[in-house]
Each structure stands twice: as structure tokens, then as C-alpha cells.
């Protein structure tokens, strides 16, 4: 797992302010830890506690759905990238799980109110959750 602050730009489009990246094998103990990573990113962005929890729950549900979709496959790898921008958080899951992106998205859209983007191709399923927020006040980052 790696985490890094992003370089700041004085002009141009919004640049990310932090990035957390990790790659996990199909071990339920590792997948269970993703909620902590996502809650940390939401707290760092200055989101209210209830939103932090819902962001973590949404991410855990994505990973659970991807893992469930690969139950017969046995093993898979999931790559998670959480990027913080001044106006949003993006949580992207890439998985080699043999899951159908459409089924995952249909289920998640009924459970989660935030934007969900899904793609599948070349043996990889990508699900991106997007949490839009107002710019955090200075000093809220820890």
C-alpha cells in the first residue's frame, strides 16, 4: 500500500491533493481492511462523520460484490485507488474478479446514492465511486 500527497498547482484544472493506492489478493481479511482506508480518505477530505461512514460502507460493498462475483474463480486481485481532489473523492476498484459490471452496478446503484461508474473489458472490472463535496477548509487535513 502507498499513500502520497499530490503536487499542488497554482493554475489549471484541479489537481489531486492526495492518493492512496493498494493491491489486495482474494483474502477476506485484507478486503475487510478497505473500510478503514476509505474512512481515512473521507476524514482527510473534511467530510462529516456520517458521510465518512457511508463512503466506507459503499467501498466495502463494492469489494464484497466483486469478491462474491469471483467465488467460483477462487482467486483474484483487486487494486484500489482513492484520490482526493479539492471538490471530490474518487474511489476506483480494478479487479480481475469474474464479475459482471452491470450486475454489480445495478445492485450498488440501488444501495448507494453517489455516482457509480462501471466498466468491464480485457478481464478487468472497474468500479468508480465518486463523492462530490465542497472544498475543505484549511487545517482540516491531518
Domain that holds residue 126: 18-132
Q: Which of 125, 128, 76 is nearest to 103 (CA)?
A: 125
Q: In whole angstroms, what separates CA 71 from the centre of its chain?
A: 21
- Number of C-beta neighbours around residue 41 at 10 A: 25
Query: How many structural domains is the chain composed of?
Result: 1
Q: Decide if 141 is inside a domain.
A: no
- The pLDDT mean for the chain works out to 73
Asked whether residue 82 carries a pLDDT value surpassing 80, the answer given is yes
Is there a domain that residue 47 lies in?
Answer: yes
Give me 134's grid cell. 465542497
State residue 92's pLDDT score: 92
Whether 142 is covered by a domain: the verdict is no
Residues in Cβ contact with 110 at an 8 Å cutoff, skipping those fewer than 6 apart = none
Residue 114's pLDDT band, with cuts at 50, 70 and 90, is: low
> Which residue reads 483474502 in cell numbers?
27
Give the mean model confidence (pLDDT) for residues 27-42.
Answer: 78
Asked if 61 and 108 touch (Cβ cutoff 8 Å), the reply is yes
Q: Answer for the pair 77, 24: CB distance below 8 angstroms, yes or no.
A: yes
pLDDT band of 117, cuts 50, 70, 90: confident
- Domain presence at residue 29: yes
In a domain, 8, yes or no: no
- 139 lies in a domain? no
Does the residue 6 lie in any domain?
no
DSSP 33: T
Residue 31: what are its φ and ψ, rounded to 5°?
Answer: -60, -35
**pTM of the predicted model over 0.85:** no
Identify the CA nearest to 83 among candidates 6, 10, 13, 1. 6
- Which parts of 1-142 are beta strand (E)? 2-5, 18-25, 77-85, 88-95, 115-121, 124-132
What's the pLDDT score for residue 134?
A: 67
Position 13 in a domain: no
CATH of residue 101's domain is: 3.30.565.10
Amino acid at each position: 500500500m502507498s499513500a502520497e500527497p499530490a503536487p499542488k498547482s497554482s493554475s489549471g484544472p484541479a489537481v489531486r491533493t492526495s492518493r492512496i493506492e493498494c493491491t489486495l489478493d482474494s483474502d477476506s481479511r485484507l478486503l475487510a481492511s478497505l473500510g478503514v482506508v476509505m474512512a481515512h480518505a473521507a476524514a482527510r477530505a473534511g467530510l462529516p462523520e456520517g458521510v465518512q461512514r457511508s463512503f466506507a460502507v459503499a467501498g466495502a460493498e463494492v469489494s464484497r460484490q466483486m469478491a462474491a462475483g469471483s467465488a467460483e474463480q477462487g482467486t483474484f486481485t483487486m487494486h484500489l485507488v482513492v484520490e482526493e481532489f479539492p471538490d471530490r473523492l474518487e474511489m476506483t476498484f480494478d479487479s480481475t474478479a469474474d464479475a459482471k459490471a452491470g450486475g454489480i452496478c445495478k445492485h450498488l446503484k440501488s444501495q448507494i446514492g453517489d455516482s457509480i461508474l462501471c466498466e468491464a473489458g480485457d478481464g478487468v472490472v472497474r468500479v468508480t465511486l465518486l463523492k462530490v463535496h465542497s472544498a475543505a477548509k484549511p487545517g482540516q487535513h491531518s
